[in-house]
Structure 1
C-alpha cells in the first residue's frame, strides 16, 4: 500500500506511518459589532432574505468545517435567484480551485531524481493524482450543470462516490511521500482542498436535507423507482450495447478493435502497443483481445482512455505478469502494479493478472484500478502482499480468483467482490495473513469493501501449517475502514477472532476502535462469530435488512451501471 513501508507483517504487529494531516483553516471574521454600517460584508448579510440564510445553513449543517462552507457559499447566497444547483456547483467549483492551487504548490516541490529516486517518483505521482482529482471535479461540475434539478438527488450517491475518490486521491498523494520535508510542504498546501472535499462529501451524503432549505415541491424529495435485478442479469451500469457485447463474447462472436498475439498473428505483439492504438477522441467501447500467452509487461491505462474492454482466452491461459515490488526494488506501492488503469468504464474478462515478486518482494500489486464503473469477470488476480488495489471509485468483481498473503485486497474505492474464490497463501514464517485492508477515511464517504458469496480457502502450501500461521479476514488500514463479509463459505483456518488490529502498541493507529467490520450469514467452520475479537468496538453481525445496504444494488448503485457490463451479477442478497 502507498507509504505503508512495511517489510512484511510480523505476528506481533507493525506500525504504519501515515501522513494524512488535516489542518484547521482560520476564517477571519469581522468582530466589530459597532461598525456594521461601514462593513459591506456585514451590511449584505443583514440585507439577505431569511430564505438564503436558511439555504446556507441547510447546506452547511452536515459539514465539519462550517466556517469554510459558509464562506464558500457567500457569493451564491448573495444571488437571490440562486437554485440548489448553483449551491452544489459553488461547492464543487471551490474545491476544484483549491486542488488546482494544491497542484501548483506541489509542482514547486523539487526532489533530485538521482539522489532520491523514491521520493522524486512519489512527488511526480502526487502531481498525477491531483490532476486526476481535477478531472473528476470537472466531470462532477458538468454533471450537475447538465442535470435537471429533480434528477440531482438520484445522482447524489454517484457524486458522493466521485467526491470520495477525490479525497482518496489527495490522501494517496500525501501518504506515499516518505521524507517529512517534502510531505509537510505538500500537506500544508492541501489543507483547504482536503477540508473542502470533506465538506462536499458530507453535503452530498445529506443532500435531501440540504434541499429543505429551499421552497421546493413536496414530492421533489421522493426517490425515483429503482429496479434491482437478480442473479444472472448484467450489472446495471452496463449499457445495452455492452450487454450485447458480452453476451456475444461468451458465445465467441465478439469483434475486437485490435488483437494482441505473441506469435504475430494479431495486429500487435504487446498489450501496451494495443492500448497505445486507442484512437484520439474515441467514442464507445475499445475492445482488445489478447490471445493465449504470457505477457511480461508493465501497463498503465491513461485516464483519457475510457471504456476499454480487455479479454483473453481464459484465466491461466492469457497471463499478464511482472515482478515490480517495494521490498527489493524500492518502488512505491502504486507503481508496482503489473496492470493499472486510471480510466473509467474498464472491463476485464478471462485474464490472469499476476505479480510474481513473491513474499520477499513485500508490497507487489498485480492489478490496480483507479476509475469509476470498473468490472472484472472470470479473472485470476495473483500475488502475495497487496495483490489487488481497488484504488478509488466503484468496482465490481465476479467469478474471480484472488490470492495473496498480507493485505492482499486493499484500497480506498467502493468495491464488491461477488461469487469469487479468495485463496490465502503461505507467507514467510514470521508473518501472518490478512485478507483485506480497507482505507476508508470519511464517516460519510461512499467507500468500503464487500465480499459476497465468496469462498475463503487456504492454498495447498498453507494447508499443513494453517493453524500455526495466523490468518484473519483483515485489519483496518485507515481509521474508518469498512469491510463486510457476507453469505460466504469460510474454511477452518480463519482465526476465531476474525479480525486483527493494525497496531496494539501505538494509540495513533488504534483503528480497531473506530473501524466498521461486519459479517452476515456466512457458512463453514470459520464462520462462527462467538469468539470474534472484542477489541473491535463497532463489529456487528448484521441482519438481512442492514446487510442489504452493502449489496451491489445499493452500495455501488449497481442498478444504474452494472447492466452495461454484459456480465452476470446479483444486486441483492
Structure 2
C-alpha cells in the first residue's frame, strides 16, 4: 500500500511538472506571436508612409517636384515645336531653350548648326526666355526661319555700342547677313545706355539686316540711337514694334513696313526743339532702287522728332495712311543740314491722320511732298519690294507687344486706312 502511494505520488508529481512546462511553453509562444505582430505592424507603418510624411527627405520630395515640372515643360515645348514645324511645313527643325529640353541653349550655336546654303528651309524654334548673346546669321546660313514664343516672351539682348564694338554696324545684337531669312514673334534689344545728344560712339544697334529677301512678322526692336539698321536688300516688316530716339530706322535698303508701331523715346525739350528722328535713309544716287515705305503704321512716343533726315542725298521715305501723333515735328523732315539735298530727296506723305499729320504744305518743309493716290500707289504693297513671290503670307495670329511706357499693344495682321496699330 505504501509502495502504491509512493508510485501514485511520483506519477502525480511528474504530471504536475509536465503541466507546468506546457503552460510555460504556451505563454512563451503567445509572447513571441505578439512580438511578431507588433514588429510587423511597425514595419508596415514605415513602409506605407506617404511621400509627404516627416520620414521622407524634403530634398527628395523637392527634386521629384522639379523633375515633374520639367517633364511637363518639356512636353509643352515639344507640342509647340511640332505645331510650328507643321505650320511652317519644315522638315529640319532645331530647338533652343534654357530648360534643357532643346537641342541648344544658345541661339548662335543653333544658327551655326544650319547647313551651309541649304536647299530646304531650316526652322529654329526658340522657347520663351531672355538670351543674352550676340547673334550673327552669316551669309552662308540661307533659308532660316526663326520662331519665338511671342515678342514679349522670347528676347535676344546684348549691350554693345559703336565705341565698344569698333563701329555702329558691329554693335548689333542680332545681325542677319544671309538671304531668305524670316523671323516670327521675337524681340531684339540693345540695352546699352542711351547716347547723349551729339555724343560720339554711343550708337547701339539692335537689329542689322543686310541679307536680301528678309521678312519679320510681329517682332520687336528696342534701343535708342540707331535701333534698326535696315542696311541693304529687300525687306518686309509686318506688325512689328520699333523703339528708339535718333535715326532709329536707318540704312539703304528697299523696305516695306506694314501695320507697324514706331515709338519714339527721344527726350522732350522744354522749348519744343526737335530731339530725334524716325528715319535716316542713305540712298546715294538716282541709280539705286532703295527707300523706306510705311503703310498703315502709327508713330507715337515722346519728344519731337522728324519723320526723316536725308542721310543720303537721294534719301527716299514715304508714310502712307499712317497715324502720326503730336510727337511728329511740324516741319516733318530734315535735310541733314545740307540745303543741296532738298533738290534730290524724295520725302512723301499720303492720306495720313492724327495731330502730327500735315495740315497743308505750308506746315511741312518746302521740299516735302503731299502725294496723291497715283503717286503713292507704287509704295503701298509688296510689289514695292518685289515681294509677290518671296514675302509669304504670315502663318500665325497677331501677338501682343509692349509700348514705350509699358502699355500693351495689340497689332493686327491686317490694317485699315489710318487706323493700323493705333492705340
> What's the TM-score once normalised by structure 1's chain length?
0.51
Q: Would the aligned equivalents of 1:362 and 1:384 in 2 still touch at CA under 8 Å?
A: no
- Closer, same or farther: CA 547–249 of 1 in aligned 2, 3 Å: farther
- Closer, same or farther: CA 571–414 of 1 in aligned 2, 3 Å: farther
Q: 1:550 aligns with which of 372, 375, 379?
A: 379
What's the offset of the Cα at 1:526? 1.0
Q: 1:513 aligns with which of 343, 367, 373?
A: 343
Q: Is 1:268 matched up with 2:108? A: no
User: More relative contact order in 1 or in 2 (CA 8 Å, sep 6+)?
Assistant: 1
Q: Is 1:295 matched up with 2:125? A: no
- Closer, same or farther: CA 396–572 of 1 in aligned 2, 3 Å: farther
1:141-187, CA deviations, whole angstroms, 9 ceiling, x for partnerless residues? xxxxxxxxxxxxxxxxxxxxxxxxxxxxxxxxxxxxxxxxxxxxxxx
Query: What does 1:384-463 correspond to in 2, within 5 Å?
Result: 384-427=224-267, 432-458=275-301, 462=302
What's the offset of the Cα at 1:280? 4.0
Unaligned segments of structure 1, at least 5 residues: 1-244, 463-468
SS in 1 for 2:169: helix
- Which residue is equivalent to 1:540? 369
What's the offset of the Cα at 1:493? 2.1
Query: What does 1:300-315 correspond to in 2, within 5 Å?
Result: 300-315=136-151
Q: Would the aligned equivalents of 2:187 and 2:220 in 1 still touch at CA under 8 Å?
A: yes
- Which residue is equivalent to 1:490? 324
What's the offset of the Cα at 1:277? 0.8
Q: Would the aligned equivalents of 1:343 and 1:372 in 2 still touch at CA under 8 Å?
A: yes
What's the offset of the Cα at 1:256? 6.1
- Closer, same or farther: CA 565–534 of 1 in aligned 2, 3 Å: closer
Q: Would the aligned equivalents of 2:209 and 2:230 in 1 still touch at CA under 8 Å?
A: yes
* Runs of 4+ with >3 A deviation: 245-256, 427-431, 531-536, 564-573
- Which residue is equivalent to 2:306? 472
Q: Is 1:371 matched up with 2:206? A: no
- Closer, same or farther: CA 431–370 of 1 in aligned 2, 3 Å: same
SS in 2 for 1:545: helix
In the alignment, the residues of structure 2 paired with residue 251 and residue 302 of structure 1 have an alpha-carbon distance, to the nearest angstrom, of: 25
SS in 2 for 1:562: coil
Query: What does 1:142-157 correspond to in 2, within 5 Å?
Result: none
- Which residue is equivalent to 1:233? none
What is the CA RMSD across the aligned residues, in angstroms? 2.8
Q: Is 1:501 matched up with 2:344? A: no
Q: Would the aligned equivalents of 2:331 and 2:365 in 1 still touch at CA under 8 Å?
A: no
- Which residue is equivalent to 1:355? 190
Q: Is 1:525 matched up with 2:359? A: no
- Which residue is equivalent to 1:286? 122
Q: Would the aligned equivalents of 1:388 and 1:408 in 2 still touch at CA under 8 Å?
A: yes
In the alignment, the residues of structure 2 paired with residue 246 and residue 263 of structure 1 have an alpha-carbon distance, to the nearest angstrom, of: 18
Count of aligned positions? 314
SS in 1 for 2:105: coil
- Closer, same or farther: CA 447–339 of 1 in aligned 2, 3 Å: same
> What's the TM-score once normalised by structure 2's chain length?
0.68
What's the offset of the Cα at 1:426? 2.8
More strand as a share of residues: 2
SS in 2 for 1:563: coil
More helix as a share of residues: 1
Q: Would the aligned equivalents of 2:322 and 2:351 in 1 still touch at CA under 8 Å?
A: yes
What's the offset of the Cα at 1:533? 6.1
What's the offset of the Cα at 1:531? 5.2
1:261-284, CA deviations, whole angstroms, 9 ceiling, x for partnerless residues? 112211100001101111245221
Query: What does 1:114-125 correspond to in 2, within 5 Å?
Result: none
- Closer, same or farther: CA 252–563 of 1 in aligned 2, 3 Å: closer
What's the offset of the Cα at 1:254? 6.9
In the alignment, the residues of structure 2 paired with residue 381 and residue 294 of structure 1 have an alpha-carbon distance, to the nearest angstrom, of: 14
- Which residue is equivalent to 2:153? 317
1:221-280, CA deviations, whole angstroms, 9 ceiling, x for partnerless residues? xxxxxxxxxxxxxxxxxxxxxxxx999569799776111011221110000110111124
In the alignment, the residues of structure 1 paired with residue 83 and residue 416 of structure 2 have an alpha-carbon distance, to the nearest angstrom, of: 22
In the alignment, the residues of structure 1 paired with residue 374 and residue 173 of structure 2 have an alpha-carbon distance, to the nearest angstrom, of: 39
Q: Would the aligned equivalents of 1:306 and 1:343 in 2 still touch at CA under 8 Å?
A: yes
In the alignment, the residues of structure 2 paired with residue 440 and residue 250 of structure 1 have an alpha-carbon distance, to the nearest angstrom, of: 40
Work out which of the two has the higher radius of gyration on C-alpha atoms and give 1 or 2: 2
Moved more, 419-428 or 556-565: 556-565
- Closer, same or farther: CA 308–498 of 1 in aligned 2, 3 Å: same
Q: Would the aligned equivalents of 2:323 and 2:357 in 1 still touch at CA under 8 Å?
A: yes
SS in 2 for 1:329: helix
In the alignment, the residues of structure 1 paired with residue 213 and residue 82 of structure 2 have an alpha-carbon distance, to the nearest angstrom, of: 16
Q: Would the aligned equivalents of 2:85 and 2:123 in 1 still touch at CA under 8 Å?
A: no
What's the offset of the Cα at 1:494? 1.0
Q: Is 1:342 matched up with 2:177? A: yes
- Closer, same or farther: CA 341–294 of 1 in aligned 2, 3 Å: same
In the alignment, the residues of structure 2 paired with residue 350 and residue 544 of structure 1 have an alpha-carbon distance, to the nearest angstrom, of: 33
